[in-house]
């Protein structure tokens, strides 16, 4: 098997001829100590931390950084002047405080992300091909813009579609531009493939790993005729954190930039193979490094060597913690209905109500899945012309509700 592109990227970034676990630990310790010294020198948020650790095991003795810290003290975590900040990403949070979570990036941070994206995308994007990007485009330094630049550097053509587009517009892009690859969320991709039907130009796709249910994954791979490339990232990781290798055996972390730990509910580190919360330390971040940040993501570090031969640590599938009914679970169950294209979910009179749209007849009304059943045989069914569909086609609309209180 060929060397994983991420391995080649790490070797190039760190000036290595050979990448091993020992060398990676040495790089991580050197960068971690440089970060601790920088925090002490700049009087940053972590200025009370020791400015030197003798080995990486000492990291687990440092306090956690939480989302509450980021909300309340995030401005104190920035180590650059405002003049050197290239982009601020803001995430509104629930609650009554009105606070927003902000993560700051320098031009160097964004360049590093583009370079990482290019390495990961090179596994599936070939020069001269067209790539459909269904991610947010929010201006310079935005996620979609960074992905598009990475694709250009591979000699390919980005198609900046964005998010929230009507299915008709997405179908037009497929028919007119004929992209070979797709970057975006898996559920909209499956919806698009079901609507398109028949022959489709798409052959490969990179999707967000934290929203990739098994039912959706299996059908997408069957329709594309190739394996999906899950990717994990967040604002706190610099948008790019880990990506699938050619062996499709977990997602390799960019360990030269991020130290990953898995901790249990009490905050104690667990060994490889055990599940828990992902904790990250962003040792390469220029503008806003984080030390032992609790991500709220549930995963594990996969044990044993990867079949691809890479020594880089691997994340298993990732899910968000603390949700009784995740959208991933709903997607996994509801998309077992083969005609389903899209659905909306909400609470109505204390019950979970789903409004589904299908391409075919009302077989949905007699199906039962995961405790969610039809409200009645077509009793709330009506056909609705959908502006998102191709000419002369219709979507069927159905309403069905949960009959078990525990489902939501």
Q: Per-residue confidence at 391, pLDDT binned at 50, 70, 90?
A: very low
pLDDT tens-digit readout, 210-239: 667 788 899 999 999 999 999 999 999 988
Query: Among candidates 291, 223, 243, 265, which has minimal Cα distance to 51?
Result: 291
User: Using one digit for the tens of pLDDT, what is the confidence trace for 157-178?
Assistant: 999 999 988 888 999 999 999 9
pLDDT at 98: 47
pLDDT at 12: 95
pLDDT tens-place string over residues 86-139: 999 887 544 434 467 899 999 999 999 999 999 999 999 999 999 999 999 988
**216 and 158 co-located in one domain:** yes
Map tokens 């964005």 to a residue.
162
Last residue of a domain, one of 260, 295, 322: 322
pLDDT in tens, 142-162: 899 999 999 999 999 999 999
Concatenate the DSSP letters of all residues of 80-119 into one string. Answer: S-GGGEEEEEEEE-SSSS--EEEEEEEHHHHHHHHHHHHH
Gap between the Cα atoms of 258 and 285, Å rounded: 9
Q: Are residues 347 and 227 in the same domain?
A: no
Strands 181-184 and 204-208: parallel
pLDDT of residue 402: 40
Read off the pTM.
0.85
Q: What is the pLDDT of residue 382?
A: 34
**191 and 296 both lie in a single domain:** yes
Kindly report each contact of residues 174-179 with a partner whose C-beta sits within 8 Å and lies 24 or more positions away, as own/partner.
174/132, 174/200, 174/201, 174/202, 177/130, 177/132, 178/130, 179/129, 179/130, 179/131, 179/132
Decide if pLDDT at 347 tops 80: no
111: its two tokens? 């360049």
Pick the range with the lowest mean pLDDT from 130-134, 327-331, 390-394: 390-394
The CA distance from 310 to 318, in Å, is: 20
pLDDT above 70 covers a percentage of the chain that reads: 82
Q: With a cut of 70, say whether residue 390 has pLDDT above it.
A: no
| Greater model confidence, 333 or 236 | 236
Residue 244 shares a structural domain with residue 377: no
Higher pLDDT pick, 342 / 34: 34
Asked if 46 and 64 touch (Cβ cutoff 8 Å), the reply is: no
Are 260 and 381 contained in the same domain? no
Tally Cβ neighbours within 10 Å of residue 262. 21
Q: Single out the residue in 322, 352, 379 at which a domain terminates.
A: 322
DSSP code for 65: B
Of 184-193, 254-263, 379-388, the least confident: 379-388
Does one domain contain both 249 and 382? no
DSSP secondary structure letters along 119-170: HHHTTT--TT-EEEEES---STT-HHHHHHHHHHHTT-EEEE--SS--HHHH
pLDDT recorded at residue 266: 94
Looking at the structure, tell me whether residues 225 and 116 fall in a common domain: yes
pLDDT of residue 359 exceeding 80: no
Task: Quote the distance between the C-alpha of residue 145 and its chain's center.
Answer: 16
In a shared domain, residues 266 and 364: no
The residue segments making up the domain with residue 125 are 1-322
Q: What is the dihedral of CA 312, 316, 319, 322, to 10 degrees?
A: -90
> Of the given ranges (2-6, 121-125, 398-402), which has the lowest mean pLDDT?
398-402
Whether residues 91 and 162 share a domain: the answer is: yes
User: Are 8 and 152 found together in one domain?
Assistant: yes
pLDDT of residue 299: 94
Q: What percent of the chain has pLDDT over 90?
A: 63
- Give residue 96's pLDDT: 36
More confident: 343 or 112: 112
Q: Is the pLDDT of residue 370 over 50?
A: no
Both 85 and 208 in one domain: the answer is yes
* 319-320 vs 340-348, strand pairing mode: unpaired
Domain count, the chain: 2
CATH code of residue 229? 3.40.50.12780
User: From its phi and psi, is residue 24 left (phi > 0), alpha (psi between -120 and 50) or beta?
Assistant: alpha
Residues 85, 122 within the same domain: yes
The residue among 301, 322, 343 that closes a domain is 322
The full DSSP string for 233-246 is --TTTTS--EEE-T
pLDDT digits (tens, 9 = 90+) for 76-86: 999 999 999 99
pLDDT at 381 over 60: no
Confidence class for position 351, pLDDT limits 50, 70, 90:
low
Three-class SS string for 202-217? CCEEEEEHHHCCHHHH
Q: Model confidence at 384, in pLDDT bands (50, 70, 90)?
A: very low
Task: Say if residue 37's pLDDT is above 70.
Answer: yes
């Amino acid at each position: 098997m060929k060397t994983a592109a991420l391995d080649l990227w790490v070797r190039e970034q760190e000036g290595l001829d050979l990448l091993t676990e020992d060398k990676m630990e040495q790089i991580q310790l050197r960068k971690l100590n440089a970060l601790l010294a920088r925090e002490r020198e700049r009087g940053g948020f972590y200025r009370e931390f020791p400015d030197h650790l003798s080995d990486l095991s000492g990291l687990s003795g440092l306090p956690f950084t939480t989302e509450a810290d980021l909300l309340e003290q995030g401005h104190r975590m920035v180590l650059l002047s405002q003049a050197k900040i290239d982009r601020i990403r803001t995430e509104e949070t629930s609650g009554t405080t009105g606070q927003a979570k902000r993560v700051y990036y320098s031009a160097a941070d964004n360049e590093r992300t583009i370079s990482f994206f290019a390495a990961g995308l090179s596994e599936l994007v070939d020069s001269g091909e067209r790539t459909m990007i269904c991610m947010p485009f929010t201006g310079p330094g935005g996620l979609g813009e960074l992905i598009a630049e990475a694709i250009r550097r591979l000699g390919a053509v980005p198609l900046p579609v964005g998010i929230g587009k009507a299915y008709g517009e997405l179908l037009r892009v497929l028919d007119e531009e004929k992209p070979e690859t797709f970057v975006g969320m898996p559920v909209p991709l499956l919806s698009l493939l079901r609507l398109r039907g028949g022959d489709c130009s798409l052959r490969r796709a990179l999707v967000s790993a934290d929203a990739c249910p098994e039912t959706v994954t299996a059908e997408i791979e069957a329709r594309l005729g190739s394996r999906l490339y899950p990717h994990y990232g967040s604002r706190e990781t610099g948008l790019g954190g880990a990506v699938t290798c050619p062996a499709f055996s977990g997602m390799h972390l960019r360990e030269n930039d991020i130290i990953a730990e898995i901790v249990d509910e009490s905050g104690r580190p667990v060994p490889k193979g055990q599940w828990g919360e992902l904790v990250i330390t962003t040792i390469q971040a220029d503008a806003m490094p984080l030390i032992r940040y609790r991500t709220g993501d549930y995963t594990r570090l996969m044990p044993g060597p990867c079949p691809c031969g890479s020594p880089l640590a691997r994340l298993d599938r990732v899910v968000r913690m603390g949700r009784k009914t995740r959208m991933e679970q709903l997607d996994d169950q509801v998309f077992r209905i083969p005609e389903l294209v899209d659905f909306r979910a909400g609470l109505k009179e204390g019950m979970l109500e789903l409004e589904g749209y299908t391409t075919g007849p009302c077989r949905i009304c007699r199906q039962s899945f995961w405790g969610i059943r039809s409200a009645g045989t077509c009793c709330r069914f009506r056909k609705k012309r959908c502006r998102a569909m191709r000419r002369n086609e219709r979507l069927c609309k159905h309403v069905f509700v949960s009959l078990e209180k525990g489902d939501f």
